[in-house]
Amino acid sequence: MIDSDLLLQVLDASDRRRAARRTFLRSAGAASLAVGGSALLSACGGSGSSTATPTPTDTASATPSPASTDVLKDQDTFNFALNLEYLEAQFYSFAVTGAGLPAALLTGTGTQGGVTGGRAVTFTDPVVQQYAREIAADEVAHVAFLRSVLGTSVVAQPAINIDGGATGAFTAAARAAGIIGATATFDPYASDENFLLAAFIFEDVGVTAYKGASPLIAQSLLIDAAAGILATEAYHAGLIRTVLYAKGIAAPTLRTNANAISDARDSLDGTTDLDQGIGDGTTANLVPTDASGITFSRTPGQVLNIVYLNRNAVVGGGFFPNGINGTIKISAAS
């Protein structure tokens, strides 16, 4: 179950985590991760120990108290978030270093899966490269943090597809958005611009997912933790949108493609037109908000519509070919 004392310790260790993140940034710039990801685990302050298998309990012996029900709901919510963090962390880690997460950050309940695809981007813009390094460090830290909070209730990483080939999830997403032809491929690791477009698929979804999940969290301490991650994801999303718009001034096709991705997300998560592109040739739209300046939310089912690349109620596909682990795993019927 979620360990509140451990969560307090993790929150109080923010200075150490910041130092560890900076260490990662330096090491990532120098060389790829060591085999098995041990260097990355060290940089994130991980212990290298595996997560213990939870001991079965007799659930029929007593009626759960409201407090224990809240804990179970929070576990479900945080495990749902962890699945998304696995996806983002693997994508950014491969893009920056050429290697994925260490084995010690992948274990847990449910079926553990591997990663299909992923490789280092040969960045040509040093600014984009530096941004990618920082985002990668944050996403890996999110995985480590959520795993620490969940303890023995943590779910394993499911199978993830971040391949840039013909059968890869990125190609399927790009075809659905109409930014490539029906037989073309989209390789997110081929250029700075492709990397930014791929990141744009994830980042806006992450922000709306955390905002949508926040009302589901019952324990105040965990609400604070989720709000902190939401803020980080919002910084990431704003940064990706800003760089895409800036580069799109000289290369309008890049801006057009980003807006097409926004439209594709909208077509997947329901009939309501909520998603917003990054703007046009005269007006930027760096923060997708309503008339009150508030960012919209997505339900877990809507989030799964996008990462499964399916507008129907299904249990897998797209970036998670076999679905995610945990109790929240079915996309919404749009």
pLDDT in tens, 84-110: 999 999 999 999 999 999 999 999 999
pLDDT at 60: 42
- Alpha helices by DSSP H, the chain: 4-12, 14-30, 38-43, 66-97, 126-150, 169-177, 192-213, 220-250, 252-268, 300-307
The larger pLDDT score, comparing residue 41 to residue 46, is at 46
**pTM for this one?**
0.82
Section 33-56 average pLDDT: 38
pLDDT at 334: 78
Cβ of 26: how many Cβ atoms within 10 Å? 10
Asked whether 138 and 236 are in contact (CB, 8 A), the reply is yes
Hey, what are 2's tokens? 């979620």
Decide if pLDDT at 114 tops 80: yes
pLDDT at 151: 96
Decide if pLDDT at 26 tops 70: no
Section 216-229 average pLDDT: 89
Instruction: Provide the 3-class DSSP secondary structure of residue 295.
Output: strand
Q: In the structure, what pLDDT confidence band is assigned to residue 66 with cuts at 50, 70 and 90?
A: low
Decide if pLDDT at 176 tops 60: yes
Asked whether 99 and 136 are in contact (CB, 8 A), the reply is no
Decide if pLDDT at 197 tops 90: yes
Instruction: Provide the 3-class DSSP secondary structure of residue 213.
Output: helix
Section 259-268 average pLDDT: 96
pLDDT at 271: 84
CB neighbour list of residue 157: distance below 8 Å, 6 or more residues apart: 83, 86, 90, 101, 105, 106, 108, 112, 113, 325
Choice among 26-35, 46-55, 180-189, 244-253 with the minimum mean pLDDT: 26-35
Q: In the structure, what pLDDT confidence band is assigned to residue 77 with cuts at 50, 70 and 90?
A: very high
Average pLDDT of the chain is 85
| Model confidence pLDDT, tens digit, residues 120-135 | 999 999 999 999 999 9
| Chain Cα centroid distance, residue 117 | 16
Decide if pLDDT at 213 tops 70: yes
pLDDT at 24: 47
**Rounded CA gap, 94 and 28, in Å?**
11
Hey, what are 171's tokens? 């190609």
Decide if pLDDT at 247 tops 90: yes
Asked whether 207 and 188 are in contact (CB, 8 A), the reply is no
Decide if pLDDT at 59 tops 80: no
pLDDT at 191: 98
CB neighbour list of residue 253: distance below 8 Å, 6 or more residues apart: none
pLDDT at 3: 52
